[in-house]
Structure 1
């Protein structure tokens, strides 16, 4: 009888403990939202109570669901070595995220470009309505070669959450000269007879393809897609057209802000103008964001200065741009997504999401300790 009573009491104890634990877990998983709030730099948790692991990422919106893809980091790992793959999360409200697992796993095959130990950065996914495929592009560095490979990688899937099949990696637009839209200053044109100092890296890589590092993807209103990436030893951005399947480059591309060292591009479109936010190149340390505007995706792009205002704006609030999300169904509802990198313990990197405010033609990113979707421009 005593043993039975002990058994009953112990079951009641653990049931109560478990209930309390579940309540604490629920509070933890929604802590980043704060009952429908975004809190930049705070630790954000998924539906399992695990810190969201999607660094340098981007978001795809499909069938009323948001899919967040990013680099999966490992505890205790310094730098940016990829040991797991691209993580995927889903949400219907942007506040609460479901863990969908690893969409693109790193390979155990030492002959694979994406073998564990390579560097895979800034994965972005877009949907191709023609092929019904989900197309992922990313920046790839080969294992053991530092940042010398400077390739772009491609993977595709039949489902947004994957699994994604790795296709290939390469340097884009080998043997191709850039496209110069009307209005491009003569100083920005490549002179193939007298190679200028700012063009030496472009001409060096002309035959084998241009370097492709920090990147984003953009699908225009007409369904055409573009790959925008840091090139030429990060001195110049390239805006490159993708083919109809989004699985290769067409050879048409332009060069942006030549010789000025810009990386971390993120793009949106508004009232017929294209806007791009990027950063300078200061390693893992934050710097001032850069805003550009153009009437054509190929440019010429006009430099508009730093869109961030207020305290710590000269360091982009400690972060670096990765993606700009247009919240579907709301005009000018734009979220600036950035990463606060922690190179000594990469998994502890945090996310900085802030509303983009637009007044006339003025675009700003202003710090808020806490905010919700109601703070976005209507």
Structure 2
């Protein structure tokens, strides 16, 4: 009897251990850097642009656009994470070969919802012909599993008569699902109720802002109030985000109110994710800094994630933070405040400058007449070791010492990106940890566009800087 009991106990412990190993670990608080490309757990770039997130169990699943070099559709990619920082690539869940009409197409803003009645995951997206934007269709795909292969169901204009471009989806607390899309050449933003299986349009619920010229909708509900967050329709260029509220999706909706700065911190709305934990629910703005806006492609785009705050039950605000702290267990999203400084050379009275406000890695830093631009402002991020990273306000890239120049690069923590800052009177010297050389205006030049380099420290005025505001 004792032997049988011992065997049973051993089996139970082994099963418990296997289950524990299979379950995701409790997510720890994580820091996410803004305005950057994200990488997955294999080190590859996360391609989830224009995306949306659905939580299944302990995992958040992120779906988004992964495009060809000419910006045509290649895949909808799926990633998963427990902490919103470490993303594991799961699958290309929709591909060019999924349907004939996807062989050459634009597929944008994929959003996945779960239908508890049918047990299906339903993806909605904006579909075009891959040549121009004349189709203005919504498209649907369905899967039995959240990150499995999605079966393409086709594309159509809602109710057979309305254009449909940028879109989002929302499932209300009663299980009714909705789709919101830009119609009438983006001048209208229409709210539709979906069919019971979530794969079709049942009815037009509202067209609250005719002629408003808004796109990139994100819809969420907080404390009984619906929020609709949108951008203006200016193509790839960033613009002022605006929001409206209502207590019923059918309306009445308020008029638009602005949120964030005039460019949404150089981003466009993709999604608003509620993050619920032991301390409540935080709301995370997920935006794209489109690569096409700075001379690249969609796959060159960067991500801007910011906490939304709510001064009242019907108002919303959003501020810039170079980093955010996300704690999915607690349900909190908070920003890291930063002071940005200019670096003004004593010999020339000119500012360390990223030429042409470039967002690209590898761009060499030079000096230029001070103008207050984000490409002349730097966050001296204290690394707690006597050194700091110098992160650009405009690019979110770090100042890096190289053999012949100083460039902006993805922040990696390398010693070539670590600098000591020593004050002497009214000036500071900025010294590279890697080489021990000082930040220097090449040749003591006073001309615009003169290179900034590192050079053997001499105390000369072209190695003395003031930190302005």
How many residue pairs are counted as aligned between the two chains?
Answer: 299
Match of 1:187 in 2: none
Q: CA deviation at 1:150?
A: 0.3
TM-score, normalization by structure 1: 0.76
- Residue 56 (structure 2) pairs with residue 62 (structure 1): yes
Partners of 2:210 and 2:285 in 1: how far apart?
24
1:1-378 aligned at under 5 Å gives the runs 36-74=30-68, 77-78=69-70, 80-82=71-73, 84-107=74-97, 112-115=100-103, 117-144=104-131, 146-174=132-160, 209-308=161-260, 313-329=261-277, 331-343=280-292, 344-361=296-313, 362-373=315-326, 376=333
Bigger proportion of residues as strand: 2
Distance verdict in 2 for CA 1:131–1:304, change over 3 Å: same
Unpaired runs of at least 5, structure 2: 1-27, 335-469
Does 342-351 or 54-63 show the bigger shift? 342-351
TM-score, normalization by structure 2: 0.62
Please report the RMSD computed on the Cα atoms of aligned residues, expressed in angstroms: 1.8
Q: CA deviation at 1:43?
A: 2.0
After superposition, the C-alpha distances for 1:237-269 in whole angstroms (9 at most, x for unaligned) are: 000000111011112321021101000000110
Larger radius of gyration: 2
Q: Determine if contact 1:270/1:332 at 8 Å carries over to the other structure.
A: no
Partners of 1:222 and 1:129 in 2: how far apart?
11
Match of 2:450 in 1: none
Query: SS of the counterpart of 2:263?
Result: helix
Q: CA deviation at 1:40?
A: 1.1
Q: CA deviation at 1:360?
A: 2.2
After superposition, the C-alpha distances for 1:92-132 in whole angstroms (9 at most, x for unaligned) are: 111100001201111286xx2212x3100000000000000
Partners of 1:170 and 1:97 in 2: how far apart?
33
Q: Determine if contact 1:226/1:239 at 8 Å carries over to the other structure.
A: yes
Distance verdict in 2 for CA 1:113–1:256, change over 3 Å: farther
Q: CA deviation at 1:67?
A: 0.3
